[in-house]
A and B are shown apart, each in its own frame.
Chain A
Amino acid sequence: MADQPRGILTYQGIPVWRHAVLIQWALQIISAIAVVTLVVWFFSNVAFAINDRDIPFGWNFFGRSYGTPVPEHALPFNDSTDSYAYALLVAAVNTIILAVAGVILAIIVGTLIGIARLSPNWLLSRLSLVYVEFFRNVPLLVQLLFIFYFILVLPPITETYNLFDVLYINNAGIAMPQPTLSSGIAPGLGWVAAAGAGVFLGYTVYKLRNRREIVTGAVSYPLLTGIGTAVGIAAVAWVAIWAMAGDTPLGLSIPAPDDRFGRIEDGLRVRSGAIVMLVGLVMYTAAFIAEIVRAGIQSVSRGQTEAALAVGLKPVGVLRNVTFPQALRVIIPPLISQCLNLTKNSSLAPAVGFADLTNVGITMTQTAPAINIFLVIMLAYLAMSLAWSAVGNFYNWRTRIVGT
């Protein structure tokens, strides 16, 4: 090629504005400059505004004592001595407990509804359809408020529903019995450890017996012997520790109404805000998960079901051994995104008075710099979301299919 352009604006004999690699580089550099400019502009603006208007900013509030109660706390919390940082941790634990419990229940409910949606039973599949369409299409905040007001209709504590003197239900929440370490930490945890070992041994027995049944064909009652082993060990440990310590390994804290102050003491007391959040998040997210499960099962080709039926598997066996394992690959990624949604949606808790991260954060802004508080809270939610993603990636990696 004789008329190849020569000059200062060529590289490798190509004009720079036509050089594919150089164009890529130029675009990269331009976008990087744009991003840096935007970020600098944003943060300098915020910094100017904070200075201009004397908005408090800084991190030394972290160590100060918070001095405000946190209504729900799974971790022990003393509002007169514990710090802001610790209060945020307590609130984060509340959010995590709500999110994990919510995700587990939502997956169970959602999977059942998703399978029911594909049921040949007309009534079952219609009911599932109505459920999905209702809960998907009403705003979550409205659903939460509805449950909140629904619970308010329940009688007040002074006229609480009382089931057998162990379970109390009223418009402030639920109180139920709870095992405690009332007879000392050593016997209590000792028994829990023994029972745990029993469950582990029982599971081992189950596996071994199951294997024996599979390998030799001899009837071995794997489930029965496994559960028997676990229960047996737990029972023996209970009696042994009782005999040695002179008291039962675990106590039981049973709730009881305190008529003088009109409240319920002892037991595990769950306030209505927590119930509203858990029920609301589970029902709402389950509707989305049901659709994901349905789509996942339907993504497995009809031929797979036919082949499984043709070799003699029964419908439940087809679902368990053929359809569902393949559907899982399709289900897991959007399912993880629903776990993230549930966790993030738990930040609606302030509307119903549950002391989650966001709610405690809002309260803190009255006595500490809001921007700092919410920076920390955002990082906390980000960490939780990344944790869910890690779980999902691990699962994806384990269930991958070779060769596709």
Chain B
Amino acid sequence: MTNGDASDNGVEDIIIARDVHKWFGSFHALRGVSTTVKRAEKVVILGPSGSGKSTFIRTINRLEEHQRGEIIVDGITLSNDVRNIDAIRREVGMVFQQFNLFPHLTVKDNITLAPMKVRHIPRAEAEDTAMGLLERVGIPEQAEKYPAELSGGQQQRVAIARALAMQPRIMLFDEPTSALDPEMIKDVLDVMTELAQSGMTMLIVTHEVGFAREVADRVIMFDEGMIAEEAPPNEFFINPKSDRAKLFLSQILH
């Protein structure tokens, strides 16, 4: 594991979650989740559907509000202080299962929108950055097209570029390949692998076991709103400790 460069905030533990609880009405979705993510660490989150894994990473950038416990991102405590929320969202990029590209904007405008509106970066510079990112994800020729003209795999790579344009320190991936046709999954995973090698801190909710084995520093398994098991991938996949993890692995590894 590399430690990356010294950050502005000088925090080694870039994400700290302590006893995080979340209710949807009466449904207790997160039941005391505690974990720490180190700078440049790659964490893959597994678990059956409804286990709270997506909810957990969505609390990290306040797409879901946690009701109890504490979340600290790069030294900033996530609270109701709007300034803290804005600061954390600038640090944290997110990629969604359904891509969520803006359909009324071209690929390039999708990527430049936030840097120009939020960081007030001049258009020419933002467009240069956007083109650089499109090169990086391998689809510079699609810059002037609209999202609906692209394949799912291309759209997801644009979504990654869009998140990277804000120069985040942390990237959250919420089942990034679950909505893709099988032949497109590899393109997206390749981009994510490259990103992992560049030293980005990544939290990835995924069912791609091969990817988890290759890229993850640590695997966290969620079950019923709690962390059921937390271990390096080799240990987790070959020799899981909890019965819950054994059962889950027997279901997804055929």
Q: Could you tell me if A401 and B104 are in contact, using CB atoms closer than 8 angstroms?
A: yes
Residue of A whose beta carbon sits closest to that of B116: A214
Q: Could you tell me if B100 and A304 are in contact, using CB atoms closer than 8 angstroms?
A: yes
Q: Could you tell me if B118 and A326 are in contact, using CB atoms closer than 8 angstroms?
A: no
CB distance from A198 to the nearest CB of B (A): 28
Q: Could you tell me if A311 and B103 are in contact, using CB atoms closer than 8 angstroms?
A: no
> Is residue B61 within 8 Å, beta carbon to beta carbon, of the partner chain?
yes
Q: Could you tell me if A303 and B146 are in contact, using CB atoms closer than 8 angstroms?
A: no
Residue of B whose beta carbon sits closest to that of A320: B117
Chain A residues near B (Cβ < 8 Å): 214-217, 301, 303-304, 306-314, 317, 321-322, 325-326, 329, 399, 401-404
Instruction: Take A307-B102, A401-B104, A403-B148 as given contacts and tell me if A312 and B122 are in contact as well, using a CB distance cutoff of 8 Å.
Output: no
A residues within 8 A CB of B249? none
Q: Tell me which of A303, A312, A401 contacts B96 (CB under 8 A).
A: A303
Q: Could you tell me if A306 and B148 are in contact, using CB atoms closer than 8 angstroms?
A: no
Q: Could you tell me if A215 and B123 are in contact, using CB atoms closer than 8 angstroms?
A: yes
Q: Tell me which of B94, B103, B113 contacts A326 (CB under 8 A).
A: B103
A215 to B112: give the CA distance in the assembly, Å: 13
Q: Could you tell me if A403 and B118 are in contact, using CB atoms closer than 8 angstroms?
A: no
Instruction: Take A217-B122, A310-B89 as given contacts and tell me if A401 and B146 are in contact as well, using a CB distance cutoff of 8 Å.
Output: yes
- Return 24 A-B CB contacts under 8 Å, by A number: A214-B122, A217-B125, A303-B98, A307-B102, A307-B159, A310-B61, A310-B89, A310-B93, A311-B114, A311-B163, A312-B89, A312-B90, A312-B114, A312-B118, A312-B119, A312-B166, A314-B86, A317-B118, A322-B102, A325-B104, A326-B103, A401-B104, A401-B148, A403-B149
CB-CB contacts of B155-177 with A at 8 A, as 1s and 0s? 00001001101100000000000
A217 to B119: give the CA distance in the assembly, Å: 10
> Is residue B29 within 8 Å, beta carbon to beta carbon, of the partner chain?
no
B residues within 8 A CB of A304? 100, 102
Instruction: Take A217-B120, A217-B122 as given contacts and tell me if A310 and B163 are in contact as well, using a CB distance cutoff of 8 Å.
Output: yes
Assuming A217-B121, A306-B100, A402-B148, what are 18 further A-B pairs, CB within 8 angstroms? A214-B116, A214-B122, A215-B123, A216-B122, A303-B98, A307-B96, A307-B101, A309-B62, A310-B93, A311-B89, A311-B93, A312-B119, A313-B117, A314-B118, A401-B103, A403-B103, A403-B145, A403-B148
CB-CB contacts of B98-138 with A at 8 A, as 1s and 0s? 10111110000000011011111111110000000000000
B residues within 8 A CB of A325? 104
> What are the nearest 6 A-B pairs in CB distance?
A403-B148, A307-B100, A311-B114, A310-B94, A303-B100, A403-B149
> Is residue B92 within 8 Å, beta carbon to beta carbon, of the partner chain?
yes
CB distance from A121 to the nearest CB of B (A): 15
Instruction: Take A321-B113, A326-B104, A401-B146 as given contacts and tell me if A309 and B124 are in contact as well, using a CB distance cutoff of 8 Å.
Output: no
CB distance from B90 to the nearest CB of A (A): 5
Residue of A whose beta carbon sits closest to that of B58: A306
CB distance from A304 to the nearest CB of B (A): 6
A residues within 8 A CB of B103? 326, 401, 403-404
Classify chain B: how many residues form its interface, as a range: 35 or more
A313 to B114: give the CA distance in the assembly, Å: 6
B residues within 8 A CB of A404? 103, 146, 148
- Among B104, B120, B125, B163, chain A packs the most CB atoms within 10 A around the CB of B104
A residues within 8 A CB of B153? none
A322 to B117: give the CA distance in the assembly, Å: 12
B residues within 8 A CB of A217? 120-122, 125
> Is residue B233 within 8 Å, beta carbon to beta carbon, of the partner chain?
no
CB distance from B116 to the nearest CB of A (A): 7
Residue of B whose beta carbon sits closest to that of A311: B114
Q: Tell me which of A214, A216, A313, A401 contacts B118 (CB under 8 A).
A: A313
CB distance from B36 to the nearest CB of A (A): 22
B residues within 8 A CB of A313? 113-114, 117-118
- Among B92, B100, B159, chain A packs the most CB atoms within 10 A around the CB of B100
CB distance from A397 to the nearest CB of B (A): 14
A191 to B189: give the CA distance in the assembly, Å: 66
A215 to B123: give the CA distance in the assembly, Å: 5
A residues within 8 A CB of B118? 311-314, 317
> Is residue B139 within 8 Å, beta carbon to beta carbon, of the partner chain?
no
Q: Could you tell me if B100 and A321 are in contact, using CB atoms closer than 8 angstroms?
A: no
A307 to B100: give the CA distance in the assembly, Å: 6
CB distance from B137 to the nearest CB of A (A): 16
A326 to B103: give the CA distance in the assembly, Å: 8
CB distance from B92 to the nearest CB of A (A): 7
A321 to B120: give the CA distance in the assembly, Å: 15
A403 to B147: give the CA distance in the assembly, Å: 8
B residues within 8 A CB of A322? 102, 113
B residues within 8 A CB of A214? 116, 122-123
A303 to B63: give the CA distance in the assembly, Å: 10
Residue of A whose beta carbon sits closest to that of B103: A401
CB distance from A214 to the nearest CB of B (A): 5
A401 to B147: give the CA distance in the assembly, Å: 10
B residues within 8 A CB of A314? 86, 118
CB distance from A211 to the nearest CB of B (A): 8
